[in-house]
Amino acid sequence: MSPPESTIEEYEILDLLTTLVDKSLVAYDDATGRYRLLETVRQFGRDRLLESAGSETVFGRHLECFLGLAEQAQQGLFGPEQRAWLDRLEREHDNLRAALAWSEAHERGDAGLRLGAALWRFWSVRGYLAEGRERLRSALLHPAASAPTVERAKALDGAGLLAMNCYDFTAASALYEEALSIGRELGAGRVIAMACNSLGDSRRYEGDGGTARSLYDEALRFGREVDDQWDVAYALTALGIMAIGECSFAEARSLLEEGLAIKRALGDKRSIAYSLVQLADLALAEETTSEARSLYEESLVIRRELGDKRWIALSLSSLGSLDEADGDFMAARARLAESAAIFVEVGDRNSGADNLKRVAQSAAVQGQSRLAARIFGAAERLREHPESVVSPADVPRQDSSVAGVRDVLGEAEFEEAWKEGRAMTLEQAIEFALSEADEHT
């Protein structure tokens, strides 16, 4: 007869942990209130676990634990507690990565797909664009995840959004089309509303406004039919954006404000910030610049609170444009330089390069021609990267702003400064971008 399994009572756990800390086998982090294994101990324990007969059970339980957390967070990421959920997922990101990797390697593709479907908004908000795309791609390709289910449609939608964030509209459209096909096959109104909104975005960015409007109208109809307030608000906002483009400003304001009211009721701060930006764009179209600035600044506060990196960069870029229009070039340079750094951090080197180029143009306006040439060179260097969407050959080196600086400096001095800029790191380029030094320094 085998001996009974030993058990640990809950009240004993803290004493045991304290003992392990005293023996330097476990560390306690005062900042987070969490216990963690020292790396050497963790690796040793993991190796022993892999050698044991119970490893499958332990890793399976780990997967189920963090799948449960991710799916609990999925709803929270669209509600008033989204900052807390974003921070919690950030703390557990390595555990979530481990769960995804184990699911893929151990025929748990169904669980991996559910994890990806639950995590895509976290990856988008916190700037893990390339990683999120790759993890969702792997999850969607897993044989166990190929069935046309609601979870697959959600994962496809998330993968499409991350592709859109990377300006890969062709890939995004294909992913959204499959999600919509699944929704229609299942007769799932929520999936149809979700996919129509997403595919509408893709078509709008591709310049097919007629198809985009039709898709948004369908999303609005299905969203209302199934009482999906989030997609109703999304469709209203998208239709409002289209109305701005058509100079139907009264219609645009009505649509945008109706969408914003729903988002406020839902408590979805990220979506609220997005609506504020669209209302700011409307204010600019109506030439009420002070209202636009106030709305952009309000959206930026929310985005900084959430740590929504890519959208922080976009808000900074918009405010930088207003600073330029007001003639406050140093404020513009500070915002655009910060924006450029964030864009590069999240993998959007093209937008980073565009904002550095705008810094250079601002320096040129202020008479800092040598500084401008350096920053132009740094911006060109940023584009020369395998992940760049636009080829360096498509960026005209002789555009008017560059040509103007070349004329001021002369060919030899311009080429020298240009090469200095190309040799800079991003950090050095931004330091120079914020410089008020004389153009010849």
DSSP H or E run through 28:
strand 26-29
How many distinct helices (H) and strands (E) make up the chain? 22, 2
Q: For the chain, what percent of residues have pLDDT higher than 90?
A: 61
Which of 34-38, 69-73, 135-139, 151-155 is predicted least confidently? 34-38
Per residue in 318-363, pLDDT (tens digit) is: 999 999 999 998 899 999 999 999 998 888 888 888 898 999 988 8
Nearest to 129 by CA among 85, 82, 168: 168
Helix %, strand %, coil % of the chain (to 5): 75, 0, 20
Residue 428's pLDDT band (boundaries 50, 70, 90)?
confident
Nearest to 138 by CA among 127, 126, 148, 130: 130
CATH H-level superfamily of 228-306: Tetratricopeptide repeat domain (1.25.40.10)
Per residue in 13-44, pLDDT (tens digit) is: 777 777 877 777 777 777 666 777 767 766 66
Residue 398: what pLDDT? Answer: 43
Task: Using CB atoms within 10 Å of the CB of residue 2, give its burial: 0 to 12 exposed, 13 to 18 middle, 19+ buried.
Answer: exposed
Per residue in 169-212, pLDDT (tens digit) is: 999 999 999 999 999 999 999 999 999 999 999 999 999 999 99
Rounded alpha-carbon distances, angstroms, from residue 46 to 38, 51, 226, 280: 12, 9, 47, 53
Q: Letter for the amino acid at 321?
A: S
Domain 147-225 has CATH 3.30.450.20: no
Residue range(s) occupied by CATH 1.25.40.10 in the chain: 147-225, 228-306
Residue 389's pLDDT band (boundaries 50, 70, 90)?
very low
Residue 397: what pLDDT? Answer: 42
Residue 159: what pLDDT? Answer: 97
Residue 439: what pLDDT? Answer: 41
Contact criterion met (CB below 8 Å) for 272 and 256: no
